[in-house]
Amino acid sequence: MALIEVRDLVCRYGSRTILRDVSFDIAAGEVVTILGGSGCGKSTLLKHMIGLISPASGGICIGGDEFIGSDANTRQCILRRIGVMYQSGALFGSMSVLDNVRLPLETFTRLDAAAIELIARLKLRLVGLEDFAALFPAELSGGMQKRAAIARAMALDPQILFLDEPSAGLDPVTSAGLDALIRRLAESQGMTFVVVTHELASIHAIADRAIMLDRSVQGIIASGTPDELARHANPIVSGFFLRKPED
């Protein structure tokens, strides 16, 4: 059974339709990238998938539970299964890295302080930041801030992590390190990833499957493995994969 099922999704802002008839499944343990040109609706799709925005129509099932129109209880259950790192992915600047990761545990669980600290340190270890727990976000490099944000998103042991352009603003080497982390978490923790990115190197490095959106169709123009998309008959699709890295 699919872990995530998106069915006939229609996304609008006011009277403006951004996406229509978007349907796809994501299996547990898959790393799926959502790609496409700027403004095609990648962040919009992600925000719908995490329940931040309600669709004009269509359905989203996570772990067999329907998200759209669900009661508060079901919604809470679903939200507990997902972790999110937004495009602006900011940590709280006035808190240490450790406190940032502790925050969701303090807010959403009744664990005692010692247990919370243990879990928070474990998450920091998973992203390679165990020695930086006491630092403040501004004292970290851009790549380390992203790792810390991933640790915070993982605090409540989500089944699925949604990342919106995690490598934005990072240099290629740091970006490759983040890709390796995503792949490692998928393989060692069995985590499912939905990653919005238009970085070709990242797509090739992490994606089991890629879903490409395009404004011309207001939805999915192609989906498949990165290699399949690079050989796709539609020049919009294959062109995206053949562009030079600096484009």
Specify the stretch interacting with Mg ion by CB under 5 A; choose among 42-50, 76-84, 115-123, 154-162.
42-50
Which residues contribute to the site for ligand ADP (CB under 6 A)?
Answer: 13, 18, 38-44
Binding mask 195-224 for Mg ion (x = CB under 5 A): ------------------------------
CB nearer to Mg ion: give 143 or 166.
166
- What is the C-alpha separation between 36 and 219, in angstroms, rounded? 10
- What is the C-alpha separation between 133 and 97, in angstroms, rounded? 5
Q: Which does 44 bind (CB under 5 to 8 A by kind): Mg ion, ligand ADP, none?
A: ligand ADP
What DSSP assignment string belongs to 97-165?
A: HHHHHHHHHHHH----HHHHHHHHHHHHHHTT-GGGTTS-GGGS-HHHHHHHHHHHHTTT--SEEEEES
Place of tokens 């690079």: 230
Q: Which does 39 bind (CB under 5 to 8 A by kind): Mg ion, ligand ADP, none?
A: ligand ADP
Cross-strand bridge partners of residue 213:
220
Q: Does 37 bind Mg ion (CB under 5 A)?
A: no
Q: Which does 40 bind (CB under 5 to 8 A by kind): ligand ADP, Mg ion, none?
A: ligand ADP
Question: 232-240 long-range contacts, Cβ below 8 Å, gap at least 24?
Answer: 237/212, 240/35, 240/36, 240/37, 240/212
Q: Choose which of 2, 29, 43, 209 interacts with Mg ion (CB under 5 A).
A: 43
Question: 112-115 long-range contacts, Cβ below 8 Å, gap at least 24?
Answer: none
Q: Which does 9 bind (CB under 5 to 8 A by kind): Mg ion, ligand ADP, none?
A: none
Strands 57-62 and 4-13: antiparallel
CB nearer to ligand ADP: give 29 or 51.
51
CB nearer to ligand ADP: give 43 or 234.
43
Q: Does 86 bind Mg ion (CB under 5 A)?
A: no
CB nearer to Mg ion: give 104 or 166.
166
Residues in touch with Mg ion (CB under 5 A): 42-43
